[in-house]
Amino acid sequence: MLDDQKLKRLNQLAKLKREDKISETELKELAGLREEYLSNFRNTFKNQIKNTKVIDPEGKDVTPDKIKALRNKK
């Protein structure tokens, strides 16, 4: 998870980029922080999907096989 300090820095760098006031070093830092943020987001989302169970109105488990396979992959 991205800590508050890194998230603040990511936002600062993004603002600098929007204002065209960013240096090459800061661009590289922004790219690294962005990748870390996206990686964290993807992992969190994947775990959320793994723990999702779909139930139809009749009470039957209709969770897609792909999600069940991810769950059993552990």
How much is the pTM?
Answer: 0.76
Q: Please state, in angstroms and as integers, the Cα–Cα distance from residue 22 to each residue in 11, 17, 50, following that order.
A: 13, 5, 39
Q: What is the pLDDT along the chain (74 residues), one digit of tens a residue?
A: 789 999 999 999 999 999 999 999 999 999 999 999 999 999 999 999 999 999 999 999 999 999 999 888 76
**What are the boundaries of each domain within the chain?**
4-72
H helix count then E strand count, the chain: 3, 0
What pLDDT, on a 0 to 100 scale, did the predictor assign at position 74?
61
